[in-house]
Structure 1
Amino acid sequence: MNARKIYPLIVVLITLSVVGILFIQMSWINNAIKLKHEEFQRSVDNVLKQTRETVFGKYLTKQTNYILDEDSRRFYLANHFTIEGSFTKDEITEIIRRELKNSNIKQSSFEYCITNIYKNVILHSDHFTAADMEGAYRVELAPEDSYRARETLFLSIREDKNLIIREMGWMIVASIVFTTIIVLAFAVTVRTLFNQKKLSEIKSDFINNMTHELKTPLATISLAIDALTNEKVIHDTDKIKIYSGMIKEENKRMNKQVEKILQAARLEKEEIKLTLQKLDAHQVISKVAHNMALQIQEKNGSIDLRLAATDAVVEADEVHFSNIIFNLLDNAMKYSTEAPKIVVETLKHGNGMLTIKVKDNGIGMDRETQARIFEKFYRAHTGNIHNVKGFGLGLSYVKAIVEAHDGRIKVESAPGKGSTFTITLPGGIR
């Protein structure tokens, strides 16, 4: 399957899996809370039933001095049982508290009241209010076949939601932790997938660029060698010199390309060591600009040096500093579709920093390109388009060397309006 199709498919599948896991986790927690709530309700219902049985037992103890069988017990309760006048508030309170404890309901406070058939309160706890009857648990305090008026016990006991959370705390925390791990793993996986996709594209572009850059000099060398073996040329000293020179120049060109790749590898391993010395940045810039003047003139372009810094001394490696300027000027020249007009400007700041600006009238860059322009092997043009040659190593090299000098580099650009690269370096001896 094509990589461009499989990556989105993998992301979609992983996303659906994570969403599914999150949904299941939330459903599980919600169901667990519901079960705890139902368990609490069953426990309170059991407390009410046990309270009724305990009240019956205490009533019989108070009213009779002898043991009754089950039938006699039920008959006596059906004909005589009543709370009113038989129990005090403290007795009912103590019975309820004991039954709550026996049912392992960890509730510090509760309110209750007992009403008669006319719904008049005949007994209640100290802080009972009419509002407590709303949502209160209730049980009738009389046998089912009672001949007397039925009395009702209302028990108001607030369900402690925090208690449920505390009891399930370790499960909820574990669920959150493992879910977070899954989400993080998903994020890392997706990021890795996209990084691998980007690396694959960069590798393909690099191979295409390298093949093109090496193929041209090899073809030229091959033609030159064929010419040297020609009978008409082999005895012509001037032509031998010309073709030998071509072979030498193309060989140099290939060596430069290989050196760029090796240099990038050394930068990645941080194996390049700088030989720092005091340099006049204006002299270095002027020298590099002079060496590139011929190439710029061939494109009917110009380079304008506005070296206005009063003190242009920097502590830098001469070779690498020259390469920085060369790469920026070369980049400005290559990405100009019209006659290149390059401006190099220097400014000195009060904090001792030297700013070098290289401005061009090239094709410019959009925001996406600006964000990636300093990445190794990245090029604004794809690898199979060769109107602009190179491996995409120049600007990554510039950034690495500038930062090695404790400097900063940034780019300002817009499509069709050229680009401005700004380098800031410490001036003098640090």
Structure 2
Amino acid sequence: MKGKTLTYIIILATITVAGALSLQFFFLRSSYNYSEEQFRESAAVALKEVAWQLLVASGNTANFDSITPVEIISDSYYLVTVDAQIDFELLKLHLLEELKKHQIYTDFEFAINNPSSANLEQKTFISARGEENPSTYNFLTGKDASAYYFAVHFPDRAPYFQARLSIWYLFTGLLLVVILFFGYTLSVIIRQRQLSQIQKDFINNLTHELKTPISSIALSAKVIADEKILENPKRLFEYARIIQEQNHRLSKNVEKVLNLASLEKNKVHLNKEKIDLQKFLKEVTEYFSQSDSGSKADIKLNLEKATMIIVADKFHFTNLVLNILENGAKYCEKKPRLIIDAYSSKNYLSIRFTDNGIGISKKYRRKIFKRFFRIPTGNVHNVKGFGLGLDYVRKIVKAHKWEIKVDNNPSGGSIFTLLIPQKNG
């Protein structure tokens, strides 16, 4: 799939999903507002019926049509005027009946105004299950303290809304699940596309890295096969040197690929042993200075005088250090200068590798340890490699339960710091 096509698909799908989600929340909000209005109307009608029943019981219904018995103070608080003395038990009975009749199955609490004291008294809480308890709610009094009225408060209207909006909650939940699944699928597609591109670059680079020494060896072998080469020993030795050098390069590249395959197939098996860190670093840097990359670099060691002992797999630890040093030397546009500092602190033994190379942009510092990843440098063949070295470093660091971090070198280049917990020493 081409890049532009995938981009258009992502944009169109995102707009569609955003539209569907917005529409769903719009309907959910509209349904909630409708349920809110329905609750107010149902509560008002039910309380008006209660007022009528109380007036019927007192035999005083003449003025009922000329008054507005129900005053809505808020969505959950109502005052109901009754032009007659209110009996507590009768009020409770009618409240239970009328609220149930209008399908308001939720907790409520009520209180009755005492005209003589101008206070709301007999405060009672009744749960949706019919349990009765004293109420601690601070009921607000009406404007006319001398009137006969009662107040009703609904402390929790959630059960009412849940019953009416449950289908919308279900649809919204299903939509969110679909969106999450869509997002996950999209991320997998993007990751697969990125991996495909990385693997394509890796194969192209691998082909180039293997074909070059093979071509050089084939050409040199063809020249050596000519009997006339014996007449020029210097030329013979030169082509023999080329074959040896290219064979070493070819073997090194094949070893890297095989090493990666081995690590992918099996867990890293460590043969741990005690290692004198100062002595080890001197030996590794001396070996590196004799390699093609190391022979061109200035290497400086700053080691503490006190002996530092760690427990590690010597073979893998050696390769780890060599990989970091090789990267520092390869990715440098001037004479490579590598500084290795080894020092101890309270919790860690630290090895810091400082180079004067091209540096690593902050946005790539997390990606450099991924398999096949190489920092874009224009021509992929400017610097030889497969993007396997730091992936190997990450695996070995993880296997030893160490830590590694990358920072910018203020004077140019990068700083890799290997943190070895003191318990490993």
User: Is TM more than 0.5 here?
Assistant: yes
Partner of 1:212: 208
Measured in 2, the distance between the counterparts of 1:348 and 1:49 equals: 82
Describe the superposition over 1:24-43 as per-residue Cα deviations: whole angstroms up to 9, x where unpaired. 22122223224434544664
Of the three residues 389, 401, 408, the one matched with 1:413 is: 408
Q: Note closer, same or farther for the CA distance 1:313–1:183 as it changes in structure 2 (3 Å cut).
A: same
Measured in 2, the distance between the counterparts of 1:111 and 1:277 equals: 82
Asked if the contact 1:309/1:348 (under 8 Å) is kept, the reply is no
Describe the superposition over 1:330-386 as per-residue Cα deviations: whole angstroms up to 9, x where unpaired. 1111112111111112113344x4322211111111101222121111122358432
Describe the superposition over 1:302-340 as per-residue Cα deviations: whole angstroms up to 9, x where unpaired. 111222251132222222222122112211111121111
Q: Which moves more between the two structures, 282-291 or 171-180?
A: 171-180
Partner of 1:164: 160
Q: Note closer, same or farther for the CA distance 1:100–1:216 as it changes in structure 2 (3 Å cut).
A: closer
In the TM superposition, residue 228 of structure 1 has moved relative to its aligned partner by 3.3
Partner of 2:2: 2
Asked if the contact 2:298/2:336 (under 8 Å) is kept, the reply is yes
Describe the superposition over 1:220-274 as per-residue Cα deviations: whole angstroms up to 9, x where unpaired. 0221232134342378777666545543442332222122112122223344322
Of the three residues 383, 386, 394, the one matched with 2:381 is: 386
In the TM superposition, residue 192 of structure 1 has moved relative to its aligned partner by 2.2
Asked if the contact 2:349/2:419 (under 8 Å) is kept, the reply is yes
Mapped pair 1:320 → 2:316: yes
Bigger relative contact order, structure 1 or 2 (CA pairs below 8 A, ≥6 apart): 1
Partner of 1:72: none
| SS class of match (2:302) | strand
Q: Note closer, same or farther for the CA distance 1:37–1:410 as it changes in structure 2 (3 Å cut).
A: closer
Of the three residues 191, 194, 201, the one matched with 1:198 is: 194
Of the three residues 276, 283, 288, the one matched with 1:287 is: 283
Measured in 2, the distance between the counterparts of 1:251 and 1:82 equals: 112
In the TM superposition, residue 217 of structure 1 has moved relative to its aligned partner by 0.4
Of the three residues 350, 356, 360, the one matched with 1:361 is: 356
| SS class of match (1:31) | helix
Asked if the contact 1:361/1:417 (under 8 Å) is kept, the reply is yes
Q: Note closer, same or farther for the CA distance 1:48–1:315 as it changes in structure 2 (3 Å cut).
A: closer
Measured in 2, the distance between the counterparts of 1:202 and 1:128 equals: 71
Query: Computing the radius of gyration over CA atoms, which structure comes out larger, 1 or 2?
Result: 1
Q: Which moves more between the two structures, 278-287 or 407-416?
A: 407-416
Measured in 2, the distance between the counterparts of 1:290 and 1:39 equals: 85
Letter in 2 for 1:386: H
Aligned positions of 1:183-262 closer than 5 A: 183-233=179-229, 243-244=239-240, 246-262=242-258
Q: Note closer, same or farther for the CA distance 1:37–1:155 as it changes in structure 2 (3 Å cut).
A: farther
Partner of 1:403: 398
| SS class of match (2:268) | coil
Partner of 1:140: none
Partner of 1:349: 345
Q: Over aligned residues, Cα RMSD in angstroms?
A: 4.2
Measured in 2, the distance between the counterparts of 1:177 and 1:19 equals: 15
Mapped pair 1:23 → 2:22: yes
Letter in 2 for 1:167: A
Q: Note closer, same or farther for the CA distance 1:354–1:41 as it changes in structure 2 (3 Å cut).
A: closer
Measured in 1, the distance between the counterparts of 2:140 and 2:401 equals: 76
Asked if the contact 2:354/2:409 (under 8 Å) is kept, the reply is no
| SS class of match (1:168) | helix
Aligned length: 378
| SS class of match (1:380) | coil
Measured in 2, the distance between the counterparts of 1:26 and 1:385 equals: 49
Asked if the contact 2:372/2:387 (under 8 Å) is kept, the reply is yes
Asked if the contact 2:278/2:307 (under 8 Å) is kept, the reply is no
Percent identity reads 31
Q: Note closer, same or farther for the CA distance 1:419–1:200 as it changes in structure 2 (3 Å cut).
A: same
| SS class of match (1:273) | coil
Mapped pair 1:310 → 2:306: yes
Measured in 1, the distance between the counterparts of 2:140 and 2:416 equals: 79
Of the three residues 277, 281, 286, the one matched with 2:273 is: 277
Partner of 2:31: 32
| SS class of match (2:369) | coil
Measured in 2, the distance between the counterparts of 1:316 and 1:45 equals: 79
Asked if the contact 1:340/1:362 (under 8 Å) is kept, the reply is yes
Letter in 2 for 1:336: C
Q: Note closer, same or farther for the CA distance 1:175–1:239 as it changes in structure 2 (3 Å cut).
A: same
Measured in 2, the distance between the counterparts of 1:46 and 1:394 equals: 78
Normalising to structure 2: TM-score of the pair?
0.72
